[in-house]
Amino acid sequence: MSRTHYLDHASSSPLRPEAVEAITGWANSGTFADPGRQHGDGHLVRDSVEHARDAVATLLDVRPREVVFTSGGTEAANAASSGARAARGAGPMLYTAVEHSAVRLAAERAGLAVPIEVDALGRVDLDRLSQLLDAADESSPPVLVHCQWANHEVGTVQPVAEVVALCHARGVAVHVDACAAAGEVRLALGELGADLVSVSAHKLGGPPGVGALVVRRGTRIAPLLLGGEQERGRRAGMENVPGILGFGAVAAALSLPGVIEHEAARARAQSEQLLDAALQVKGVTAYGDRSDRLPHIVCIGVSDVEAEAVVLGLDQAGIAVHSGSACSSESLEPSPVLEAMGVDAQRSLRLSVGWSTTTDDVEAFAKHFPDVVGRLRALTDAPEHP
């Protein structure tokens, strides 16, 4: 059952009509062959998959041969870490302290992992990165540096171009987690030159269960999954054909001139309205960089009440939001992102808009948020704010 007012697009965005049409068309086509087979039906499906690959490559500004389809951003991040470790040896793996858990845990499992500090806005410390790169043992240089394009909880944009330049000057490969940013801003990955980039379809209105790892030409990594020669030997297993077709259809729509820019401008206006409404309530603080951020994400802290209670109160009003609180997620620990920023994760809320967000959604939050917080503070007998 869909939410009345869905403000959690950064977790997963509803299927866009283009994805629905592509998946329905596949289901009604009567052609369900393995795209790796040499008969006519197999060739038809292969052509469809490669057409989708072209569309994703166009959206990301990379070569189609550089796009490896995966089951999502999590698999792509794991493939980047394990593949780099297998290909480059036992050196340390660096990651910004605000990376998604899929990146952080994959780096830690791959071997020696070293976090890079961030500032109070969640932005990576370039001087610290330089120090870590310079301090690395010449006999065992870093095998990979992970740096997200922008943070998935507070929206802060990272200086990815500077990170890539610093690392490449020392011969170190870079993986960029672009799952939160893809489809929200123009990525121009060809110009960026990152060695590995992970993206996920469901964040931008595509189907869940499909994503991609962009492997820059000349980059060598060992495959994470073995058992077949799919994806040019870089990812075994039969392709998720309907998911890939849906992903490709959304990528094609977003690649049209001005589409991303138009959606970004609308998202920026809507998220600013949400933030302005939240900040009207005493004891509410904005987290992250308010200006240099992804257009669709804002994060706030609410004093005197637990975030879980606010999430539940808004849910009762038909409004879906996300919290970094342990009790409001699958994790048993508070958000490491917010902890790295020095923020109380138990009192944080993330609000995120998307392609289907309406004025009514924004107005519903502005109407109910003060009441929910006020009722909760009254229950806890919190002191009055000056």
Q: Based on the domain organization, do 137 and 179 belong to the same domain?
A: yes
Distance CA 55, CA 107 (A): 30
264 inside domain? yes
Bridge partners (DSSP) of residue 352 are: 8, 297
Indicate if the pLDDT at residue 321 is higher than 90: yes
* DSSP 8-state class, residue 374: H
Q: Based on the domain organization, do 176 and 302 belong to the same domain?
A: no
* DSSP 8-state class, residue 226: -
Indicate if the pLDDT at residue 381 is higher than 80: no
Q: Based on the domain organization, do 232 and 327 belong to the same domain?
A: no
107 inside domain? yes
Query: What's residue 331's pLDDT?
Result: 54
Q: Based on the domain organization, do 200 and 319 belong to the same domain?
A: no
Tell me if 180 sits within 8 A of 154, measured CB to CB: no
For residue 271, the enclosing domain spans: 5-14+259-380
- The last residue of one of the domains, among 255, 275, 306, is 255
Query: What's residue 135's pLDDT?
Result: 85
Query: What's residue 1's pLDDT?
Result: 45
pLDDT, tens digit (0-9, with 9 covering 90-100), for 89-110 = 878 999 999 999 999 999 998 7
Q: In the structure encoding, which two tokens stand for residue 83, read together?
A: 């593949």
- The last residue of one of the domains, among 255, 285, 302, is 255
Indicate if the pLDDT at residue 2 is higher than 90: no
Tell me if 178 sits within 8 A of 197, measured CB to CB: yes
Q: Pairing relation of β-strands 211-215 and 67-70?
A: antiparallel
Distance CA 199, CA 179 (A): 4
Q: Which long-range contacts (CB under 8 A, 24 or more apart) does 214-219 make?
A: 214/60, 214/62, 214/66, 214/67, 214/68, 214/189, 215/66, 215/68, 216/62, 216/66, 217/63, 217/65, 217/66, 219/173, 219/195
pLDDT, tens digit (0-9, with 9 covering 90-100), for 113-162 = 999 999 999 999 999 999 999 887 776 789 999 999 999 999 999 999 99
- The last residue of one of the domains, among 206, 232, 255, is 255
Q: Based on the domain organization, do 91 and 143 belong to the same domain?
A: yes
Per-residue pLDDT averaged across 162-184, rounded?
97
Q: Based on the domain organization, do 105 and 168 belong to the same domain?
A: yes
pLDDT, tens digit (0-9, with 9 covering 90-100), for 257-285 = 999 999 999 999 999 999 999 999 999 99
Query: What's residue 73's pLDDT?
Result: 96
The catalytic position among 147, 179, 299, 327 is 327
Per-residue pLDDT averaged across 1-14, rounded?
87
- Sorting pLDDT into bands at 50, 70 and 90, what band is 217? very high
Per-residue pLDDT averaged across 377-385, rounded?
69
Q: Based on the domain organization, do 283 and 236 belong to the same domain?
A: no
Element (H, E) at 105: helix 101-110
pLDDT, tens digit (0-9, with 9 covering 90-100), for 14-65 = 999 999 999 999 999 988 999 999 999 999 999 999 999 999 999 999 999 9
60 inside domain? yes
Q: Based on the domain organization, do 179 and 54 belong to the same domain?
A: yes
Q: What CATH number corresponds to the domain at position 366?
A: 3.90.1150.10
386 inside domain? no
Query: What's residue 153's pLDDT?
Result: 95
Q: For residue 327, indicate whether it is catalytic.
A: yes
